[in-house]
A = this chain, B = another copy of it.
Amino acid sequence: MRSERIRSWWGWGWADAAVGPDERARLVARLPPHWVADELPVPRVEDVVLRAPRVSPPDTLNPICTVHPHVRMSHTYGKAYRDVVRALHGDLGAAPDVVAYPETEAQIVDLLDWAGGANVAVIPYGGGSSVVGGVEYRGDRHDAVLTLDLTRMDRVLEVDRTSRAALIQAGALGPVLEEQLAPHGYTLRHYPQSFEFSTLGGWLATRAGGHFAMRHTRIDDFVEALRVVSPSGTSQTRRLPASGAGPSPDRLFLGSEGTLGVLTEAWMRLQDRPVHKATRAVSFGDFAAALRAVRAIAQSGLDPSNCRLLDEAEAAINTGRADGRAVLVLGFESADHPVDSALARTLEIARENGGSVDSTSTQDSVGDWRAAFLRMPYIRDALARSGVVVETFETACTWDSAERVCDSVRAGVRAATEEICGESGIVTVRLTHVYPDGVAPYFTVIAPARRGSEVQMWDQIKAAASDLLSGLGASITHHHAVGRDHLRWYEAQRPDLFGEVLRAAKNSLDPRGVLNPGVLFD
């Protein structure tokens, strides 16, 4: 293990980084007092009773498998609000029977063979940061559940400096792979909020969104070649910068969320570390004007690395700004050339669309924002323990419906909280990724919950939000993936015919249906 720090089994991140009493006091002070309940205690590991494992792996695989309760508990759920709450309530009936830590591809093949023969469901698992039920078995058709933790396959195997690409094992967590790329002067530069606690394989399987607000918004475009082990065999694509030879094999596995095979390695395109940077914040009195500005910037071809619009409530929460204005944080970066003129032209467009440009560079506030951004899941956990529903959901839509999506979803989800929680919650939006033809809005909900009914209440809010998105023709997800929580709306979004094709692919690659059952398919 590279770190002596211990991961939280019930909540986000490092156990020792959880919100303490002082920080909690400051947090809850910002909420209506009657929203705040006594802090839900964390169950002691030794007090949680798990079902006895229903299978034993064969002797040859035993050395890489464990049935240790702490390990099984920490692999039961992802890290959604509903996962954290259930863990805190000691509701761990879905714990996997066995957790395996393969160190070689041959071991993965053997594990899949064994699982197929023994009717054991296999949950491929990277950092376990899913917020859509992606790593939690919910079915009843399998005799047991095996979680396949890939984090021991975490090496950068080869760096091609000429092509600026690296062969990386799928189980490498963000910091682990960046640490290995740094001596070569390169970076993958993929920074989802889960960066510390998610893996390359997880990013690829879920089409994760990363650092760049424009252009290479998700991990997909950085894939040069992919290696996948499925129960039917292994697939390895050729390293190519691009190919027009038939439909892209890699694009079938990107977004397959562990249902078609286990991603084991990928050749990834790297970046030089940026040396030129320029950032600035622009504020808007009117969110609609801010949207017009972002659209004009998105269609200008300037392609800022960062183009993050916070509505007035997000701006207040995240930057401490209390002037009721929406804030657009712009950033440019390059390893090759100055970016000041690109920023200047972008600011001109922002001004033309009613923006008021901050007088100084936002480098500090960008740093603050980043720190707050990475701290957010810990705060979410603290609020969850204090009886508050706190969760996020995200989407993508074309520009012609962007304002309607932002407005209707905020209003509609507020109305849903009023109905479900008894009073209107806080619903905010920010834009995380931007395209010439549309945008990815990201919503946050904060509302009071009734102890013991938190999951049910959140599920109702989530269903209301998802129905709204679906009705507006927006995507059920831009980068959080489908998992089990989005399945109903995903099936409505996915053309039926493509659903049949995917099912045919699944039958071909995983004929016994052991891979991540319940994800992508009913």
Binding site for B on A (CB under 8 A): 160, 162-165, 206-209, 215, 217-218, 224, 228, 230, 232-249, 251-257, 269, 272, 295, 299-302, 334-337, 341-342, 345, 396-400, 433, 435-440, 473-482, 486, 490, 493-498, 500-505, 507-509, 520
Contacts and interface: CB of A to CB of B under 8 A. Distances in A.
Count identical subunits in the complex: 2
A342 B479 CA distance: 32
Given A232-B497, A494-B246, A301 B334 contact: yes
8 contacts: A235-B496, A240-B474, A241-B399, A242-B433, A245-B493, A245-B494, A302-B337, A501-B508
Most buried by B among A245, A251, A342, A497: A245
A302 B490 CA distance: 37
A495 B245 contact: no
A126 to B, nearest CB: 16
Nearest to A295: B162
Given A399-B163, A400-B163, A437 B505 contact: no
Nearest to A241: B438
Given A497-B233, A502-B246, A240 B160 contact: no
Contact of A239 (B207, B473, B477): B473
A230 B497 CA distance: 9
Given A230-B497, A335-B301, A398 B165 contact: yes
B478 A242 contact: yes
Contacts of A162: 295, 398-400
A235 B495 contact: yes
A242 B435 contact: yes
A493 B440 CA distance: 35
Contact of A246 (B242, B439, B440, B482): B482
A363 to B, nearest CB: 20
A215 B303 CA distance: 12
B436 A398 contact: no
A295 B272 CA distance: 14
Given A164-B436, A245-B475, A301-B336, A497 B256 contact: no
Given A230-B497, A255-B245, A497-B234, A240 B502 contact: no
A163 to B, nearest CB: 4
Most buried by B among A164, A256, A498: A498
